[in-house]
A and B are shown apart, each in its own frame.
Chain A
Amino acid sequence: MSPLPERVKAALFAAVIVVSAVGLIAGAQAFRPQPPVLTEGIPLSMTIEGAGWTISYTTNRTTNNTVFLFLLEAARTFHFAVQWSNWSPPYSAVFIDSINGSMNNDGGRWWVFWVDGVYANTAADLTVLAGGEAIAWRFVLSGGG
């Protein structure tokens, strides 16, 4: 049997690479936290500690079950601004830039958050809440998480 021509081998190799890359990206998506769609509200509370100000928000009935969505709900309720930037696919996520006028890197401070006292190591939109959690946003000095 004669060996395959180089161009055919190259095309087959390219196809294997494309299929493998798509499979790996699909596999990564399987690890992405998926918040369930809620039919009934859950209780949540949030405290936001900025530079010289604090906002507290508690509700017994919210269907916004990620830290990011619940932050937006608090912003709509109390009429303060939230700015964020998006990380692109294949593993998109939001990065909070400013809350209520306090912008990241103002005075060397940055926005970070905790859920039930545990430092969050995932993006706010990928942190799913089951109900009953207390979220704390703090505007802390670099490395002060």
Chain B
Amino acid sequence: MASRTPAFRKLTKLDIAFLLILVGVGGRLLLLRVANVETVLAASMLAGAFLGWRYSLLVTLAVMGISDALIYALGYGGELGLMSILGLTGFTWSGMVFAGLIGAATGRRRVLFTTRSMALLATVSIPATLLFDVWTAFGDWLFIAGPRGLSLATVYYLQIPFTLIHLASSIVFVPLFGSIFSYLTPAPSHLPMPEPTDGEN
């Protein structure tokens, strides 16, 4: 019987990584004027979940590097100064790396083109988003708000509505792109079943 697997599902890991980088960079730039709605976390998490932790690092660093370069070239964030930008960059990049590693920990062998897998990814995106926001808000306080007299508690309070929107963004984008990429990703190879041994009575 002929295989019903379409040819485009035979994309390589590098193909998938390239497409995830496009999703991350394109989404971030298109949604630049929409606070905390972004596709980078989804791209990083899905890279981890589908391709493993090494590719999650590759995708995250490529997305953040390319999009940050373009965003700062457009003049965004110029009011912050070089030191603040470098400090924030450290927190945002490492925050996205955490998200990618959380995606990788979800396990690529468990993520399939099923509702159950998408529900799992959406659920895991919640702690990943919370961790990212708590981490980067601390960076904001350390490099921007703190030196200007704001307390860490105030920064976290002001962060709440943005985190709620970020959670909404993640639970939509992670399963949305997750379902697309789980369809495109080659099915995971199964481990060989162990040969049964003779039992003893």
**Residue positions of A touching B, CB distance < 8 A:** 6, 9-10, 13, 17, 20-22, 24-25, 27-32, 85-91, 93, 104-105, 108, 110-112, 118-119, 121-122, 141-145
Give the dominant DSSP class at B's interface.
helix
Given contacts A17-B171, A28-B165, A118-B149, 7 further A-B contacts (CB under 8 A): A10-B115, A17-B122, A24-B171, A29-B161, A110-B78, A119-B149, A141-B81
CA A141 – CA B171 in complex, angstroms? 39
| Closest-CB distance, B108 to chain A (whole angstroms) | 21
CB of B35 within 8 A of CB of A21, answer no
Which of B79, B114, B171 is the one whose CB lies under 8 Å from A112? B79
CB of A142 within 8 A of CB of B80, answer yes
Q: In the complex, how many residues of chain B place their beta carbon closer than 8 angstroms to a beta carbon of chain A?
A: 37
CB of A121 within 8 A of CB of B150, answer yes
| Closest-CB distance, B91 to chain A (whole angstroms) | 16
The chain B residue with its CB closest to the CB of A21 is B168
25 contacts between A and B (CB under 8 A): A9-B116, A10-B115, A10-B118, A13-B115, A17-B175, A21-B168, A21-B171, A21-B172, A24-B171, A28-B160, A28-B161, A28-B162, A31-B161, A86-B33, A87-B33, A88-B33, A90-B35, A90-B165, A90-B168, A91-B162, A119-B148, A121-B154, A142-B79, A142-B82, A143-B81
CB of A25 within 8 A of CB of B79, answer no
CB of B175 within 8 A of CB of A13, answer yes
| Closest-CB distance, B34 to chain A (whole angstroms) | 5
* Residues 70-89 of B contacting A (Cβ, < 8 Å): 75, 78-84
CA A20 – CA B168 in complex, angstroms? 7
CB of B148 within 8 A of CB of A145, answer yes
Enumerate chain A residues within 8 angstroms of B78, measured Cβ to Cβ: 104-105, 108, 110, 142
Enumerate chain B residues within 8 angstroms of A17, measured Cβ to Cβ: 122, 171-172, 175
CB of A110 within 8 A of CB of B79, answer yes
Ranked nearest first, the 5 interchain pairs of A and B with the lowest CB-CB distance are A143-B81, A110-B79, A31-B161, A28-B161, A119-B148
| Closest-CB distance, A122 to chain B (whole angstroms) | 7
Tell me if B37 is interfacial: C-beta within 8 Å of chain A: yes
